[in-house]
Amino acid sequence: MRVMIIGASGLLGKELVREWSDSDLIRPTSQEVDIRNAESVASAVRKNRPEWIVLTAAYTDVDGCETNVDHAFAVNRDGPVIVAKAAKAAGARLLFISSDYVFDGTKITPYETSDPRNPQSVYGKTKAEAEVNLLDLMPECCIVRTSWLFGVGGKCFPDTILKAAATRSSLDVVNDQRGCPTYATDLAKTIVQLCRKNASGIVHATNAGDCTWFEFAGEIVRSAGLVTVVRPVSSEQFPRPARRPAYSVLSPHSLHALGIEMPSWRDALSRYLKQRLS
Ligand SMILES: NC(=O)c1ccc[n+]([C@@H]2O[C@H](COP(=O)([O-])OP(=O)(O)OC[C@H]3O[C@@H](n4cnc5c(N)ncnc54)[C@H](OP(=O)(O)O)[C@@H]3O)[C@@H](O)[C@H]2O)c1
C-alpha cells in the first residue's frame, strides 16, 4: 500500500511510521507540506500519488487553541479541507484523526458515532467543524475519533506523571473527567487495519475501558513501582483555559462492527512502561 502520513513527526505519526515500515511510505515534514498551504499539499499529493493519506497533523495544544484561535482553525479545520481537496483530485482515500472533545461530556454512557457534536473548547470546535466539512466534501473519507493519547514519541500524561512522581511525595490529579486512555502504538495498528479494510465514515478508536485522570495517574504510579501518593481533586481546583468534557468515553461499537478490537488501557499502559524503560 502506498501511504502518505501528514504529521509523521508527532506522537501518533511516529508509531504509524513504525507500524507501516513494510509499506511504501511518504512522510513529508511540516516544512515540506504545510497543510495551511493548498499548493504545497496539492503538489506533494500529485507527485506521490498515495492510495491513502493519513492526516495526523494538527495544532494539538488544547489550551493554546483558546488564545491562538485563528491558527487553531487554520490548521485543524481548514487544513484538513485543503488535504481532502487534494486527495479527491488525485483519487486518494483520506483518513483524518479527530477527538473526543467534539462532545460536550454531558452523557453518562459511552458516546456513539451518531451522537450530536457539541464542543466546549476552541480545539473541539476546530475538530467538529473539520469533520462536518470533510463529510460534506468527501463522504467516503474515514474519520477516526480518539482520546487521551499516550506513547513514547512525545509529551503525554503518563510521562508527565512519572517525571513528577520521581521528585514529589504526593500529586493532586483531577477526578471529575472520565475518558479512555489510548496507546499510540495500539491506535497506529488500528489505523493500518482500517486502511486495509477500506473503512469509511466515523469510527471511534480507543483502548478498551475507561477511567478518570486520577485513576489513570494512580495506575501509572503503582505500575511503575513508585510510592508517591496520588490524591483526587476537582477540575475547579485546577482551572485551565480550555473546558474539558466531564465524560468523553467513546463507544467501541463502530470499531467492533469492522471486526477490530483494541486491548484494555491497563494492558496498554504496562506495554508503554516497558517500552519507555527499554
Ligand atoms: N494527543 C491527544 O491526546 C489526542 C487526543 C485526541 C485526538 N488527537 C489527535 O490525534 C492526532 C495526532 O496527535 P499527536 O498527539 O500525535 O500530535 P502531535 O504529537 O502534537 O503532532 C502534531 C503533528 O502535526 C504536525 N503539524 C502541525 N502543524 C502542521 C501544519 N500546519 N502542517 C503540517 N503539519 C503540521 C507537526 O509537525 P512538526 O513536528 O513539524 O511541528 C506534528 O508532526 C491529532 O490530529 C490530534 O488532534 C490527539
pLDDT in tens, 219-258: 999 999 999 999 999 999 988 999 999 999 999 999 999 9
Is 123 tagged catalytic? yes
Residue 277 reports pLDDT greater than 90: no
Calculate mean pLDDT across residues 65-92. 98
Q: How far is the CA of 200 from the centre of ligand 1 (A)?
A: 21
Tell me the pLDDT tens digit for each residue of 143-164.
Answer: 999 999 999 999 999 999 999 9
Q: If you average pLDDT over residues 86-93, what whole number do you get? A: 98
- For residues 36 and 78, the answer to whether their CB atoms sit within 8 Å is yes
The pTM score is: 0.97
80-106: average pLDDT:
98
Which amino acid residue places its CA nearest to atom 21 of ligand 1?
A: 10
Q: Ramachandran region of residue 201, left (φ > 0), alpha (ψ -120 to 50) or beta?
A: left
Query: What does the alpha-carbon distance between residue 145 and residue 202 come to, in Å, rounded to a whole number?
Result: 7
Mean pLDDT, residues 84-97: 98
Q: Which grid cell is 57?
A: 497533523
Atom 32, ligand 1: which residue's CA is nearest?
A: 34
Q: Which range is least confidently modeled, 84-88, 176-180, 215-219, 235-239? A: 235-239
Residues near 36 by beta carbon (within 8 Å), at least 6 away in sequence: 74, 75, 78, 79, 82
Is the CB of 64 inside a 6 Å radius of any atom of ligand 1? no
**Residue 21: is its pLDDT beyond 90?**
no
Average pLDDT over every residue of 6-30: 95
Residue 278 pLDDT greater than 90, yes or no? no
Q: Is the pLDDT of residue 211 over 90?
A: yes
Residue 23 has pLDDT above 90, yes or no: no
Residue length, the chain?
278
Burial class of residue 134 (count of CB atoms within 10 Å of its CB; 0-12, 13-18, 19+): buried
Give CA–CA dist 8/181, Å, rounded. Answer: 21
**What are 172's three cell numbers?**
493532586
Across 23-41, b (16+ Cβ under 10 Å) vs e yields eebbbbebeebbbeebebb
